[in-house]
Structure 1
Amino acid sequence: MKKVLVLGGGFAGVEAAIYLKKEKNLEVTLVSDRDYFYIYPTSIWIPTGEKTAKDISIPLAQLGAKHGFEVMVDAVTALDAGAKRTTLASGRVLEGYDYIVVAMGQDKMKAKGIEHTLSICGKPEEAGAIKDRLDRLIEKGSGKIAMGFGGNAYDSSAVRGGPAFELLFNVNTLLKRKRIRDNFELTFFAPMEKPGQKMGEKALVMMDKMFGMTNIHKKVGSKITSFEADGINFEDGTKLESDLTMFITAGKGHSVLEASDLPLSDAGFVVT
Structure 2
Amino acid sequence: MEMKSVLVLGGGFAGLEAAIFLRKKGFKVTMISNRDYFYIYPTSIWIPTGEAEFEDICVPLKELSDVHGFELIVDEVKEIYSKERRVVCANGEYGCEYLVIAIGSGKMKHEGSEHFLSICGEPKEAIKIKERIDELIKKGGGKIAMGFGGNPKDPSNVRGGPAFEVLFNVHNHLKKLGIRDKFELTFFAPMEKPGARLGEQALKMMDIFFKRLDIKRHFGKKIKRFESDGIIFEDDSKLESDFTMFIPAGNGHPVFKNSDLPLNEAGLIKINDYCEVIHDYDESPEFYNVFAIGDSVALDGPDWRAKQGHVAEVMARNVAFNIDAISKGSEERKGYMSHINILCVMDSGDGAAFVYRNDKGGKMIPMPVVGHWIKKAWGWYCRNSKLEKIPRIPGL
What band does the TM-score fall into relative to the shorter chain? over 0.9
**How far apart in 1 are the matches of 2:235 and 2:207?**
22
In structure 2, stretches of 5+ residues that fail to align are 272-396
**How far apart in 1 are the matches of 2:94 and 2:236?**
51
Where do residues 105-184 of structure 1 align in structure 2 (5 Å cutoff)?
105-184=104-183
Deviation at 1:255, TM superposition (A): 1.1
Is the CA contact 2:223–2:234 (under 8 Å) kept in the aligned structure 1?
A: yes
Deviation at 1:156, TM superposition (A): 0.7
Where do residues 1-272 of structure 1 align in structure 2 (5 Å cutoff)?
1-24=3-26, 26-90=27-91, 92-95=92-95, 97-272=96-271
- 3-state SS of the aligned residue for 2:24? coil
The share of aligned pairs that are identical, in percent, is: 60
**How far apart in 2 are the matches of 1:153 and 1:22?**
39
Displaced runs of 4+ in structure 1, greater than 3 A? none
Deviation at 1:219, TM superposition (A): 0.3
Deviation at 1:124, TM superposition (A): 0.8
- 3-state SS of the aligned residue for 1:21? helix
- 3-state SS of the aligned residue for 2:50? coil
Q: TM-score, normalised by structure 2?
A: 0.67
Aligned-partner residue type, residue 23 of structure 2: K
In structure 1, stretches of 5+ residues that fail to align are none
Deviation at 1:236, TM superposition (A): 2.2
Deviation at 1:35, TM superposition (A): 0.5
Q: TM-score, normalised by structure 1?
A: 0.98
**How far apart in 1 are the matches of 2:35 and 2:13?**
13
Deviation at 1:259, TM superposition (A): 2.4
**How far apart in 1 are the matches of 2:142 and 2:128?**
17
Is the CA contact 2:78–2:258 (under 8 Å) kept in the aligned structure 1?
A: no
**How far apart in 1 are the matches of 2:178 and 2:239?**
25
**How far apart in 1 are the matches of 2:262 and 2:31?**
23
Deviation at 1:226, TM superposition (A): 0.1
**How far apart in 1 are the matches of 2:178 and 2:53?**
24
Matched residue count? 269
Provide the alpha-carbon RMSD of the alignment. 0.6
Q: Tell me the alpha carbon deviations over residues 120-150 of structure 1, each in whole angstroms, 9 at most, x when there is no partner.
A: 0011110000000100100111100000000
**How far apart in 1 are the matches of 2:134 and 2:253?**
34
